[in-house]
Amino acid sequence: MKWNDSLAIGIPKIDHQHQQLIKQVDQLMEACRQGKGKEAVRNIIQFLEDYVITHFQDEEQYMTEHAYPQLPTHRLQHQNFTQSFSALKNRFEEQGPSLQFVVQVNQMVMEWLINHISQTDREFGNYLKQKNLL
């Protein structure tokens, strides 16, 4: 998956964070194509650990500042992803980077990109545009 303007929500800081996530996923996918997915998965686990804290806080702060009515639902999606990620990270620490694990990380992050960023985050961007805040 590559970044394109259709994924932008209009907040430069958030869009940059989304671009970084897509870049990390692209690097993992490339490593998998080269047969190096097991080695690369550690990098994305470390990236995601920081990402879920920083990015989700930033997004929720913008939503709070602009009285976004869907914040509770959005926050719940963030919490669900964080819980899924924590379980995945624990499994990684216990079992290491098996091929099945690499596939699961790819699937989890790709689903997040497709469902959350391109739909749910875009709804927030549309809300800001309707309110003339972008």
- Domain regions of the chain by residue span: 48-64+74-134
pTM flag (> 0.75): yes
3-class secondary structure, 109: helix
Quote the tokens at residue 21.
Answer: 């996530």
Q: Return left, alpha or beta for 126; rule: phi > 0 is left, psi -120 to 50 is alpha, else beta.
A: alpha
Residues 77-129: tens digit of each pLDDT = 999 999 999 998 998 888 888 888 888 888 888 888 778 988 999 999 999 99
Do 11 and 58 contact (CB within 8 A), yes or no? no
Handedness of CA 31, 33, 38, 39 (dihedral sign): negative
Please tell me the predicted confidence (pLDDT) of residue 65.
96
- pLDDT band of 31, cuts 50, 70, 90: confident
Question: Dihedrals φ, ψ of 68, to 5°?
Answer: -70, 120
